[in-house]
């Protein structure tokens, strides 16, 4: 019953709708966007934060603690969620995520960027890999679904953060003038985000009393 409450619907859909709209807007840019895997993962965590609140966090809500702490219970739960997300993100292998580019198109810029670290760097188109023999590092390009985005990862673990920071800077410079692929996936993201945002706004505007009541109940007021 809680999930179909107007306020719960707003909480669940608003972060996800915002994420889809922003991601679709990024895809409409005239150049690709390169970022770190940690930032990309953090954005996804924020996008699903509303679903986590109305799902697991509400399911396992500590009612006994809420009697004593009131709305501060939710603050502690949100902090716990952020800490868990941070621990999870920093435990994953480092990588670079680039939006607005195809896997086959990023190989040449990646090879050029890798040569600023290792002049002997060479790419293998069949394997979608770039090898840095002097640094003993092997990079691979992984497509990310249908979103015209790729992830650049290394087979070796625990590479120095400065290596990734340097590679990210070089990739941003070399992809700046690249032409993005078609905007079909971007249009789908914007459409989906707009629909979800419209549902959330409808709940706020169309049922303000129920939404406010749900907010007060959510805080335990």
Can you tell me whether residue 143 is helix, strand or coil? strand
Interatomic CA distance for residues 10 and 201, integer angstroms: 8
pLDDT score at 1: 38
pLDDT score at 212: 79
pLDDT score at 180: 67
The 10s digit of each residue's pLDDT in 112-148 is 999 999 999 999 988 899 999 999 999 999 988 766 8
* Domains of the chain, each with CATH number or no CATH: 1-92+183-221 (no CATH), 95-180 (3.30.310)
Residue 87 to residues 19, 41, 42, 172, 181, Cα–Cα distance (Å): 22, 12, 11, 27, 34
Query: Can you list the residues of the chain whose pLDDT is less than 50?
Result: 1-3, 221
The 10s digit of each residue's pLDDT in 10-34 is 888 999 999 999 888 877 777 788 9
Sequence-ordered list of residues with C-beta below 8 angstroms from that of 117, at least 6 positions apart, any chain: 132, 135, 163, 166, 167
pLDDT score at 215: 74
- The model's pTM: 0.81
pLDDT score at 183: 64
pLDDT score at 96: 94
Sequential DSSP letters for 30-90: SS-EEEEHHHHHHHHHHHTHHHHIIIIIHHT--HHHHHHHTTHHHHHHHHHHHHHHHHHHH
Structure tokens at 92: 């994953």
pLDDT score at 194: 93
């Amino acid at each position: 019953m809680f999930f179909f409450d107007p306020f719960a619907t707003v909480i669940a859909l608003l972060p996800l709708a915002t994420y889809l709209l922003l991601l679709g807007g990024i895809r409409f840019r005239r150049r690709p966007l390169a970022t770190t895997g940690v930032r990309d993962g953090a954005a996804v965590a924020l996008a699903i934060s509303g679903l986590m609140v109305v799902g697991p966090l509400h399911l396992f809500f500590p009612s006994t603690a809420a009697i004593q702490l009131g709305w501060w219970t939710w603050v502690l739960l949100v902090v716990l969620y952020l800490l868990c997300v941070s621990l999870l993100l920093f435990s994953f292998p480092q990588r670079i995520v680039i939006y607005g580019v195809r896997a086959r198109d990023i190989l040449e810029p990646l090879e050029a960027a890798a040569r600023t670290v290792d002049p002997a760097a060479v790419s293998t188109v069949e394997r979608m890999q770039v090898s840095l023999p002097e640094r003993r590092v092997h990079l691979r390009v992984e497509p990310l679904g249908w979103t015209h985005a790729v992830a650049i990862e290394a087979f070796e673990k625990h590479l120095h953060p400065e290596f990734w920071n340097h590679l990210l800077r070089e990739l941003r410079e070399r992809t700046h003038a690249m032409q993005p692929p078609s905007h079909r996936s971007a249009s789908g993201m914007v459409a989906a985000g707009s629909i979800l945002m419209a549902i959330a706004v409808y709940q706020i505007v169309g049922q303000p009393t129920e939404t406010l009541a749900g907010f007060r109940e959510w805080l335990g007021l």
